[in-house]
Amino acid sequence: MKKLLDDPAQAVTDSLRGFAQAHADEVTLHEDPTFVVRASGTPPGQVAVISGGGSGHEPLHAGFVGAGMLDAAVPGAVFTSPTADQVAAAIVAADGGAGVLAVVKNYTGDVLNFETGIELAQAEGVEVSSVVVNDDVAVEDSLYTAGRRGVAGTLAVEKIAGAAAARGDDLATVTALAERVVSRVRSMGVALSACTVPHVGRPSFDLADDEVEVGIGIHGEPGRHRVQASGALDITRRLVEPVVEDLDLAAGEKVLLFVNGMGGTPSSELYVVYARARDLLVERGVEVTRSLVGSYVTSLEMQGASVTVLRLDEELTALWDAPVRTTALRW
């Protein structure tokens, strides 16, 4: 294993410290328990939006802390849920007096620890709601989940909930909007290579030189099937079709198309996947009115990509377009 790390057991802490130093004007790192908040805090009277989960998916979630998106992020160990104590501390720290929405990816550990953390924070008097993101159409259950996994669609939930909070919506409204995104966003991914968890030291799976894993999760867990490596068009079709079918997209509908890199794939390839995915949607009469391309929800250094489609409406489009000022996403 070659990585730009020192002690593997300290990798998450080392990385978070560097992140907080590089962006000291924007974020503050708390340690023991570990969480990241906006340097300026949640604006008083504004609903706070928080998220978290295992590390190894950077910039998700800490890179999305900032105005118009998340007020706090709770990183666990690599591919491991944060503890309930971390979650509770982040909720209490992020509360601006108007309550807190927790965005949780659907993994068994995350769901359990967020539930307990939320109860602990509620016991301290904070109003808390939560949504569970389960956008991955690849598998119904997995090693890590009952039901579908939460993957790159989480970014859209966080962006839109954060925009709703920033415009002054109350907790019930922010929560309902987040639920609306969850019900309208779907994803599917492909891996060209595995990733190596630092404290494990070996790749999470083996993939032959001529194979790709379709339906991969963001933890190196198995996908739907392995196929012969082929071109971008063929692979992209294997991602777009299940997403479109699951969403039951009809001609004339407007969507956000988000092509996400898994960490080790250069943006030049992501733009080829974007072009292919866009063509496949346009062929079906679907209108791509918003786009995002980049490595935002990753699996360490895994090579691969995922395609996320969000069925838009006027309000979701306006909230997607609203200003966002985080270290990883800003407009």
Which residue is it, tokens 């998450």?
12
The answer for residues whose C-beta is within 8 angstroms of residue 54's C-beta and 6 or more apart is: 75, 76, 77, 78, 79, 80, 81, 82, 107, 109, 110, 219
Footprint (CB under 8 A) of a copy of itself, residues 155-194: 192-193
Which residue is it, tokens 């790390």?
5
Applying CB under 8 A, among 21, 123, 125, 206 the residue interacting with a copy of itself is 21
CA distance 88 to 188: 31
* Residue among 215, 212, 211 at smallest CA distance from 224: 215
Binding segment (CB under 8 A) for a copy of itself, from list 4-12, 32-40, 141-149, 153-161 = 4-12
Binding segment (CB under 8 A) for a copy of itself, from list 43-51, 131-139, 163-171, 295-303 = 295-303
Which residue is it, tokens 């639920």?
179
Strands of the chain, DSSP E: 27-30, 35-38, 48-55, 66-67, 72-78, 100-105, 128-133, 185-191, 211-214, 225-228, 254-261, 287-294, 304-311, 325-326
Structure tokens at 321: 């377009």
16 makes contact with a copy of itself (CB under 8 A): yes
23 is catalytic: no
212 makes contact with a copy of itself (CB under 8 A): yes
Structure tokens at 250: 């009809």
Rounded to the nearest whole angstrom, what is the least distance from the CB of residue 278 to a copy of itself in the complex? 6
Footprint (CB under 8 A) of a copy of itself, residues 48-87: 55-56, 58-59, 63
Between 54 and 150, name the residue whose CB sits nearer to a copy of itself.
Answer: 54
Rounded to the nearest whole angstrom, what is the least distance from the CB of residue 126 to a copy of itself in the complex? 30
Binding segment (CB under 8 A) for a copy of itself, from list 85-93, 150-158, 214-222, 268-276 = 268-276
Between 103 and 195, name the residue whose CB sits nearer to a copy of itself.
Answer: 195
268 makes contact with a copy of itself (CB under 8 A): yes
266 makes contact with a copy of itself (CB under 8 A): yes
CA distance 302 to 204: 10
Is residue 197 within 8 Å of 79, Cβ to Cβ?
yes
Q: Which of these is catalytic: 30, 57, 61, 225?
A: 57
110 makes contact with a copy of itself (CB under 8 A): no
Q: Which of these is catalytic: 30, 199, 219, 225?
A: 219
CA distance 225 to 214: 6
CA distance 206 to 223: 13
Which residue is it, tokens 């001529």?
210
291 makes contact with a copy of itself (CB under 8 A): yes
Rounded to the nearest whole angstrom, what is the least distance from the CB of residue 282 to a copy of itself in the complex? 10
- Active-site residues, by number, are 57, 219
Q: Which residues are at the interface with a copy of itself (CB under 8 A)?
A: 2-7, 11-12, 14-19, 21-23, 55-56, 58-59, 63, 192-193, 209-210, 212, 229, 231-233, 235-236, 263-276, 278, 291-293, 295, 298, 300-301, 303-305, 330-331
